[in-house]
Amino acid sequence: MAHEQKNVASHVHPIQKQTTVTMRRAKIVPFKKNITNSLFKKDLFEKKWKKCKYQKIKMIHIKALKTRNAQI
């Protein structure tokens, strides 16, 4: 399986190859054998990242509300 992934990455642009490798190491995107399109992987990655960012903002917002309530 690892060998297959190497072959997939080899015909991708070098910079793109680097990002896919780091993403795989971070285990952000579930890499499956049948997903060979790096653009699809990138899309998954961005969606997850946006979701993560949104959750962080939400958490900060809740914290702010709590502190404001405490002051009142």
Q: From first to last of its 72 residues, what are the pLDDT tens digits of the chain?
A: 555 555 555 555 555 555 555 545 555 455 555 555 566 666 666 676 666 666 666 666 666 666 666 654
Report the number of distinct structural domains present in the chain.
1
Q: How far apart are CA 49 and CA 16, in angstroms?
A: 17
Task: Supply the pLDDT for residue 72.
Answer: 47
- Cα 71 to Cα 60, 62, 64, 68, distances in angstroms: 17, 14, 11, 5
Query: Which domain does 27 fall in, by range?
Result: 2-71
Burial 41-54 (b: 16+ CB within 10 A, else e): beebbeeeeeeeee
Q: Which of 48, 60, 56, 57 is nearest to 23 (CA)?
A: 48
